[in-house]
Structure formats: structure tokens, C-alpha cells
Amino acid sequence: MKKADVIIVGSGLASLQLARHLSKDLNVIVLTKSFVKHSNSTYAQGGIAAAIGTSDTPYLHYLDTLEAGCHLNHPNAVMQLVQEAPALIEELIKDGCQFDTDEAGALLLGKEGSHNQRRIVHGGGDQTGKRIVEGLIQHLSSNISIYENQFVYELLLDDLGRCYGVKSKDQENCMHTFTAPYVVLSTGGCGQIYSFTSNTDTITGDGMALAYIAGAELADMEFIQFHPTLLYSNEETKGLVSEAVRGEGAVLINKTGERIMENVHPLKDLAPRHIVAQNIYNYLRKGQSVYLDIRSIRDFQMKFPTVSALCEDHGIDLSKGLIPVAPGAHFVMGGVQTDPVGQTTVDGLYALGETACTGVHGANRLASNSLLEALTFGKRLARHINSNPGKHIPIHKNKKNTTFLFPELPEKELIQRLMMERVGIVRSAQKLNEQMEWLESFQLEKFHEFGLDLLTVEQINRFFMMQTAWLVTASAIEREESRGGHYRCDFPNERSSWQGKQILQQRLLERRAFNEQIKS
């Protein structure tokens, strides 16, 4: 058993920002499922949204964020986010982060979907995430220990339900225990529960499943943002084609060269992501290919080296100026419900980044607000921990029964395919209920009750995928309207009765026990 003052699960931007700003007097352990740089943050092609242009203001950024989020956002959280953005950019520059500038040294500002101003700060064209992650790693001090290839599979709770540590398994399936007064989940989103996704292979909803099993409250899990433009080759998605490409003038066309976003939305190719993704999906469903026409962009390969390399790796001839695209799961607006400093509803447990639901994204994230959220809340939680040193709590916890014969879980590919078909871009009660019946046939509650010690890393990973898929499906069934990243063909419009209403989920066993008490 290893003791620390703070345990951080995950190694993306939010995790590293937290570690960077924690006091050097604290013993900090970072546990990462793979390698420290293997995260969605490292591969983030977009940038950071910040109102630093001469014609821009935080209030305009605030309005764009609310509009993209279909006004389901928490206004105070959004206002704080956009107000802190310019200072965060200045701080990164002082730390040595190299953002793209013009010949005079002024920051180059890009424009992406749903932004009415050019306010996207980027580095290396489409390598912003990589530059920031590498910069933060360079500034980590000796009090921070990073353990790679540690798959956290259980949150340790005392008899009062307080979180005091985690259990993990390494590549050889050996168990390890870590304890600390502060446990922070920052494992990213859940894109890999879908067959088409921009997410790296480790992003399987672990943090959300862990928090749910521990009894934490989750919110807004029905809101999955499908990025409109993933490279599409041989009927598979191969990686992200940044929205910044459309921001620089690329347009979406069909096989005959017609622009498919004309007369669909006033912002055309820069419409909110869910509108663009749904439109592309409709073309693909009819058997029609969709392309990103990049012929109007000068020096494309210099401006977008990551996208260019991706296309070349998969045999796409960029000289023709057409990139075949399809939408795929990109970002989850919901997650573990937190307060303004990242505290969950479980004492001692915190959440950051895409794992958390902070209220800033609403029903659909505004482009390039994700890196901003990670930086803002990571630093904010660090200030909270630095000002409130924790104490190790006594441990009095009964062991779980491990004699249960677990059912065989489906293969990863089947989970992904059925989620894409039934809980994907276009949803209906029939498909959602089919998926729920299938998920519940595997008795997921039993895994909570008897623990996961006897399962392998690969088996636990599939269980977390199933559990997170259940959370998304259950929320999608309950929200009988369409809003943002949640589209129901049987309820195709927004309903005023759902305005401002969140779907909250807590551990199923506890909900059922509560319901039984009411009945009796």
C-alpha cells in the first residue's frame, strides 16, 4: 500500500494542470491507464477558446457558449470560465508554451463552429494539445510520482461512504492499493463505447463507471457530442479532422460537389456540431459520400500537419483537395456531477475534465471550450487542496464477497457496434429500449455487489464500457425531446418543459433500496 496526499487518476490536461499547481509540500501520485502522454488531450487538434481579440469580450464568449449548449448550461459556471480564459493563456505563454503568432508576434486567432468571433488560440497549427501537455510535464516537480500502466478499477470507501483511496491492476494483473485524503478522477470521456470515435483507445468511460459504482451522482449522460468530421476510409473512422479546417474555409460537399450545409443553418459549415453531424449522417445513411473540400485553403499541409499526416497514412491524396468524412463520438457533456471546485457527492472524491459535469457545456459543448475547462478547473481544484490540507481517515471496511460467478461479458466490438446503432447520432424509443434490455441481461448490479478483484484488466475494461453504456442509454430513454447532442427521431424538437432540467443518476442499487423504503 502506498500513501499520498493526493491521488490523480488519469494523465490528461486537467490532471497535469492540477498536478502542476499543487503545493510542492504535497505528496502526489498520478496513476495512468497507459502512458502519461497517451490521452485525448495530447491529440487535441483544436485550441483554447479565449476572448482576447480586439472586438471580442468574455460576455460574447459567454453568449456563444450558452447558445451552443442550448441554454442547458449553468450560467454562473460559464461566466467564471470565460472570464478566467485570457489570464490562463497569458500564464501558459509565461510558462513557455509556443502558440502560433503572426509576423508581428501577435497571437493568431482561429474560428470554429458556433463562435461568432475569432478567439481560438492554437499551437503548431493543429498540435495545441500536444504542446500544452508537454509543457506541463516539463514543469512537474519532484513531489509528483507518475505510475504508468496502472488501471484503476475500484474506489475504496469507508463505512461512512467516504473515499480514501483506489485499487489498481498493472499489466500482469497484479493488484496495488493507494490511499489519500483527496482522490481525483480525470480519466477522460467515453468515446470508445462507440464504434466511430475520435477518442484514443483508452477512453472507455472508466471514471464515470467508478464514480457511479461508488455512489456518486452523475448528470447529463445522454448528451454525446458527435464530431462531424472524422476521416472515413474503408467504412471505418480513422481519426479527427479538426473543426479548425472548416474555420479556415473548407466546406462540406456531396459526391456531385453540392454544398450540403447550404440552407440548413445560418452558420452553414460552422453550424453547431450536432446539426452538422446529423446532416452528414443523413447523407451517409442514404449511401451518399460526404467530403471536406479543402481546395480553398492555402498551405494546408503547413497549417494542418496532423490532419495531413493522418490522411497520408490512410492513402488520401491531398492534392485532390477532398477528404472523405463521417461523424463519430467525440465528447460527453455529462459526467460526474461536481461543485465549482470539483467535489463530487462522495466525500473525498473529486472529478475533473471530461469525466466531470461542471455545467459549463450544457447540451452541446462549444468548440475549444474543453481544453479551457480542463485548465480552469484543474487550477481551481489545486487552489482548494492547497488551502485545505486533508487528513488520512481510519479504514473500517468489510471485504466484498468474491464467490459470485460472473456472466461472460460481450466483446468490445459488439458493445461499440450496438451503441452506435441504437444509442448513436439518431435515437428512438424502440432502439433505446432494445439496448437497455440487452445491457441489463448481463446483471451489471452483481459486479457492484461482489467486486472486481478476480477479473482481468481486459474483463474490467469491458465491464466499465457496459456500465457507462448503461448510463448513457438510461439517460437517453428518459429525455423525451431533442436537444444538443441528444437527438430523438420520435421526439424531434426541443420541449419547453425540459428547459433547464437535468437527468441525474445515482447507483441503481441505492435508488432501488430507497424506493423499497418508500413503498414499505
Where exactly are the structural domains of the chain? 227-328, 402-519
pLDDT of residue 85: 97
Three cell numbers at 458?
481486459
pLDDT of residue 514: 46
- Strand duo 151-157 + 163-169: pairing: antiparallel
- Phi/psi at 307 (nearest 5 deg)? -65, -40
Architecture of domain 227-328: Alpha-Beta Complex (3.90)
CB contact at 8 A, 139 and 20: yes
Nearest to 364 by CA among 69, 72, 64: 69
Find cell 481517515 and name the residue. 393
- Strand duo 109-110 + 175-179: pairing: unpaired
Distance CA 453, CA 445 (A): 15
- Strand duo 144-147 + 28-31: pairing: parallel
pLDDT of residue 46: 77
pLDDT in tens, 404-431: 677 789 999 999 999 999 999 999 999 9
Helices (H) and strands (E) in the chain, counts: 15, 21
Scored b (16 or more CB within 10 A) or e, 329-338 reads bbbbbbbbbb
Distance CA 8, CA 149 (A): 14
Per-residue pLDDT of the chain (520 residues; tens, 9 = 90+): 899 999 999 999 999 999 999 999 999 999 999 988 888 787 777 799 999 999 999 999 999 999 999 999 999 999 999 999 999 999 999 999 999 999 888 999 998 888 999 999 999 878 888 899 999 999 999 999 999 999 999 999 998 899 999 999 999 999 999 999 999 999 999 999 999 999 999 999 999 999 999 999 999 999 999 999 999 998 889 889 988 899 899 999 999 999 999 999 999 999 888 889 989 989 998 999 999 999 999 999 999 998 999 999 999 999 999 999 999 999 999 999 999 999 999 999 999 999 999 999 999 999 899 999 999 999 999 999 999 988 877 666 655 655 567 778 999 999 999 999 999 999 999 999 999 999 999 989 888 878 899 899 999 999 999 999 999 999 999 999 999 999 999 999 999 999 888 999 987 555 555 455 544 4
Q: Is 34 helix (H, G, I), strand (E, B) or coil?
A: coil
Q: Is 370 helix (H, G, I), strand (E, B) or coil?
A: helix
pLDDT of residue 235: 86
CB contact at 8 A, 277 and 425: yes
Phi-psi domain of 234 (left: phi exceeds 0; alpha: psi -120 through 50; beta: other)? left
Whole-Å CA distances, 188 to 167, 308, 330, 356, 417: 19, 26, 11, 9, 21
Same CATH topology for 227-328 and 402-519: the answer is: no
CA 490 to chain CA centroid, nearest Å: 27
CB contact at 8 A, 207 and 10: yes
Q: How many CB atoms lie within 10 A of CB 475?
A: 24
Q: How many CB atoms lie within 10 A of CB 405?
A: 6
End-to-end CA distance of the chain: 43
- Strand duo 163-169 + 322-332: pairing: unpaired
Question: What is the pTM (predicted TM-score) of this model?
Answer: 0.91
CA 489 to chain CA centroid, nearest Å: 25
Please, which residues bridge with residue 152 across strands?
A: 168
Q: Is 273 a catalytic residue?
A: yes
- Strand duo 322-332 + 290-293: pairing: antiparallel
Q: How many CB atoms lie within 10 A of CB 87?
A: 12
pLDDT of residue 112: 85
Please tell me which residue in 20, 119, 246, 273 is annotated as part of the active site: 273
User: Domain 402-519: which topology?
Assistant: Methane Monooxygenase Hydroxylase; Chain G, domain 1 (1.20.58)
Amino acid (1-letter code) at residue 244:
A
Distance CA 57, CA 148 (A): 41
Alpha-helical runs (H) found in 178-328? 206-213, 244-247, 273-285, 300-303, 305-313
Distance CA 171, CA 512 (A): 36
Question: Following DSSP, what letter does each residue of 148-211 receive, concatenated?
Answer: -S-EEEEEEE-TTS-EEEEEEE-TT--EEEEE-SEEEE-----GGGSSSBSS-TT-SSHHHHHH
Looking at residue 497, the DSSP 8-state letter turns out to be G
Distance CA 119, CA 49 (A): 6
pLDDT of residue 518: 45
